Chains A and B, each alone.
Chain A
Amino acid sequence: GQNIDQPTEMTATEGAIVQINCTYQTSGFNGLFWYQQHAGEAPTFLSYNVLDGLEEKGRFSSFLSRSKGYSYLLLKELQMKDSASYLCAVRDSDSGYALNFGKGTSLLVTP
Chain B
Amino acid sequence: DAGITQSPRHKVTETGTPVTLRCHQTENHRYMYWYRQDPGHGLRLIHYSYGVKDTDKGEVSDGYSVSRSKTEDFLLTLESATSSQTSVYFCAIGTGDSPLHFGNGTRLTVT
* A joins B in a complex: no
Chain B interface (Cβ within 8 Å of chain A)?
Answer: none
Chain A interface (Cβ within 8 Å of chain B)?
Answer: none
